[in-house]
Amino acid sequence: MPAASTTLRMLAVSVIASLTVTGCQALDDAGRAIGRADLVNDLATRLDRALELTYSADYQLPGGETAAITQAQDPARSAYRYPGGTLTVTADATTRCDATGARTMCTLAPPPVAGSKPSVTLFAEAKRHGLITPPIVVGMLTTAALDPAAVIDLSDTTLAGHHATCVDVEQATGDFSACVTTEGVLGSFTGQVDGKAMDLALSRYSETVDGAAFELPPGAGVVDRRSTTS
């Protein structure tokens, strides 16, 4: 990253770390408002770029439930495990598995277009079961950065032994808190998403992955719809 860009980001962090910035700013506070947007956009960009990383992350959900996100590259693939099912995205298929019944059933659909990022609509089932995924948080952070009436507080914390930058957002569309680690991994999230309360926190992070995370569960039934889905 160019030195000038790094310096600007450091200045933005310095300003926002000591002040809560709102959309009702006096004219001489314009620089602070711009810094607020820069910081939130920086977190969104950090999360987005993490799609290019190889890592596995475990999360604690309410009620003792757990979830996990696993990513690998060359070829790019990702797996999301949540209570009652999994979602796996590879170059061959987008696979949803439902493990809530007596037998795990998996449905194979076409993969995302080569070179594109998965649509947030892919993650609806994971979200319904309590796992909010990075692409959804990226969208929420971007929306907050563009909202001049949003109130955003900045803080730092440590999650699973990793430093994370956190934002608390108060806005008309719904309040939420999100933390992103230095590596760009989603560290925690608390808030309402589509009317559902979401709460998760990183419990383990590793830069190694188990290849089995991208495979079909043993004994699962399979419905292949790749040739019938446009």
Element containing residue 170 per DSSP (H, E): strand 162-170
Joined tokens for residue 11: 């200045």
Where does the pLDDT of residue 13 fall: very low under 50, low under 70, confident under 90, or very high at 90 and above?
Answer: very low
Count of domains observed in the chain:
2
pLDDT recorded at residue 185 = 95
Q: Please check whether residues 38 and 151 belong to one and the same domain.
A: yes
For residue 105, the enclosing domain spans 67-129+209-224
Where does the pLDDT of residue 35 fall: very low under 50, low under 70, confident under 90, or very high at 90 and above?
Answer: low
Residue type, 2: P
CB-neighbour burial class of residue 102 (10 A; exposed 0-12, middle 13-18, buried 19+): exposed
- Dump pLDDT digits (tens) for 167-219: 999 999 899 999 999 999 999 999 998 888 999 999 999 999 999 999 999 88
Q: Please check whether residues 20 and 75 belong to one and the same domain.
A: no
Q: Please check whether residues 91 and 35 belong to one and the same domain.
A: no
Residue 170's closest CA among 9, 23, 25, 61? 23
pLDDT recorded at residue 40 = 87
Q: Please check whether residues 178 and 159 belong to one and the same domain.
A: yes
* CA 139 centroid distance within chain: 9
Q: Facing residues of 164 across strands?
A: 157, 181
> Does residue 230 form part of some domain?
no
pLDDT recorded at residue 19 = 30
> Does residue 162 form part of some domain?
yes
pLDDT recorded at residue 95 = 94
Q: Please check whether residues 163 and 188 belong to one and the same domain.
A: yes
Q: Please check whether residues 118 and 142 belong to one and the same domain.
A: no
Q: Please check whether residues 140 and 111 belong to one and the same domain.
A: no
Q: What is the spatial distance between Cα 174 and Cα 206, in angstroms, rounded to a whole number? A: 32
pTM of the model: 0.79
CB 178 within 8 A of CB 87: no
